[in-house]
Amino acid sequence: MIALNCLAPAVLSLALQAGTSAAPAGDLDSMLPVRPWVTLAADVEGGLCDPGETVRFTATVENRADAVARVTVGWSAESLAFEPELPAPEVLEVPPRGTATAVLPLVLVGPGFMDVTVSVLEEGSTRPRVRWRRVGCAPAGIQYELSRASDFEAFWERTLEELAAVDSEVELREVPGEPGDDFKLSEVTLRSLGGVRVRGWLQVPRSEGPHAAVLRVPGYTENMQPIDAVGNRIVFSFNIRGHGGSVQDVPAEPVDYWLRGLEDKDDYFYRGAYMDCVRAMDYLCSRDDVDQDRLAVWGASQGGGLAFATAALDPRVDICLADIPWLCHWRGLMTLLIDQDVKDLAAWLAADPGRSRASALETLSYFDTMNLADRITCRTLMGVGLQDAICPPETSFGTFNRVKGEKDFRIYEDQGHGLAAEHYSWALAGLAEVLGPAEGG
């Protein structure tokens, strides 16, 4: 659909130049050439193989036209763990209304992931069909070298001390609820690192406490909102600086959080963001109706990284749920960055000759949750989508595998940057094991 939308203006322009009327929208497909369709599959169950196993990637080219299609098939692969040998491009003749296949066998010799891309270019065309597929091998065995500087621990101890010196100045604004709500709703405002005001939505059960508490933290640009029901748990849906209602002191625009202050670790955006999460936990622990032996942090994407960081920097956390987590293994992520991130980083580097990729990685190393992970001693659950192109699972496991506490993970073979309902059933069951059942939720 994206390719069609991009091509449509050019087709209509050509029709007008030829002195004809533009075709009605419903007839647009008839003006376009019938191009081969391509699918890519891997013959490994669940998307994961054993070390030394050969995985066969099969590209199937379907010719939907009434004439033979000649196509050139090329392969590429990307991995943080493997350097595969790839064949030269090959030419296939696909019969009318028929199919042809190209097969790429690869051996994954040890723990890691492999991203394989096939490009199929029809003779006479300039636009290839491109498909990609990721498989993994023994992910629990992945280990990447840490990038911690000699002052890493001192940096975080100093940062936590700076936060502790800031008075929370708690403001609580009660919000009228709906008839039948099982909770009382309030908007909470706190002061965090640097005196920055941050906010969240607090839902407290009407039943007698103390209650287990769940801190929900946001994805990139996400505006955390109250949930529909809380059962017998306190839920704090919290927005770090620059997100949701926490924009009074740190603006939401431009959306460049991961580049803000990258010149200096003391000014970097995530120094404050991580402390915002610790300050939110401070607030929960200050409440008499919170059971401080049953505390959870849960987030996805950026929120998954924030959950890791919170559990690492705050030993009061009893269970950490990090879904499709970001902010993990930055050196690896910089290798696998998606197109928009590459462009954003290039623009940041070009804006100041004193900036470099090396200096960026030096700052990022202080906020890499992989470098923080050995401080996580609580139970930790992680879910990842194997086909996630935004938060690649190879980076997520860089952090997860260094967690010291009891842990478990789920990999969903066909999921990208998002997880299905089955994952949340599993995660909620794990949450109940630590917090107790969510009665009435």
Q: In this predicted structure, what is the pLDDT of residue 393?
A: 97
Residues 6 or more apart whose CB falls under 8 angstroms from that of 160 comprise 275, 278, 313
Q: Distance between terminal CA atoms of the chain?
A: 40
Q: Which of 429, 367, 341 is nearest to 152 (CA)?
A: 367
CB burial of 82-117 (b: ≥16 within 10 Å; e: otherwise) equals bebeeeeeeebebeeeeebebebebebeebbbbbbb
The structure's pTM equals: 0.90
Residues of the chain with pLDDT under 50: 1-31
Decide if 404 contacts 320 (C-beta within 8 A): no
261 backbone φψ class: left, alpha, beta (φ>0; ψ -120 to 50): left
3-class DSSP state of 316: coil
Strands 290-300 and 319-323: parallel
Residues 6 or more apart whose CB falls under 8 angstroms from that of 128 comprise 119, 120, 121, 122
Based on the number of CB atoms within 10 Å of its own CB, is 378 exposed (0-12), middle (13-18) or buried (19 or more)?
A: buried
Q: How far apart are CA 81 and CA 335, in angstroms?
A: 12
Active site residues: 301, 388, 417
Q: Which two tokens stand for residue 312?
A: 């690492």
Q: Which of 341, 347, 301 is nearest to 324 (CA)?
A: 301
Q: In this predicted structure, what is the pLDDT of residue 19?
A: 32
Q: Which amino acid is at 173?
A: R
Q: In this predicted structure, what is the pLDDT of residue 63?
A: 96
The residues that bridge with 205 in the sheet, in sequence order, are 183
Q: In this predicted structure, what is the pLDDT of residue 336?
A: 85
Decide if 265 contacts 363 (C-beta within 8 A): yes
Q: Which two tokens stand for residue 175?
A: 């919000």
**Residue whose entry in the numeric block shows the structure tokens 């990258």:** 262
Q: In this predicted structure, what is the pLDDT of residue 17?
A: 29
Q: Which domains does the chain have, with CATH numbers?
A: 34-139 (2.60.40.10), 152-435 (3.40.50.1820)
Residues 6 or more apart whose CB falls under 8 angstroms from that of 200 comprise 187, 188, 190, 224, 236, 237, 238, 239, 280
Q: In this predicted structure, what is the pLDDT of residue 202?
A: 98
pLDDT by residue (tens digit) across 226-274? Answer: 999 899 999 999 999 999 999 999 999 999 999 999 999 999 999 999 9
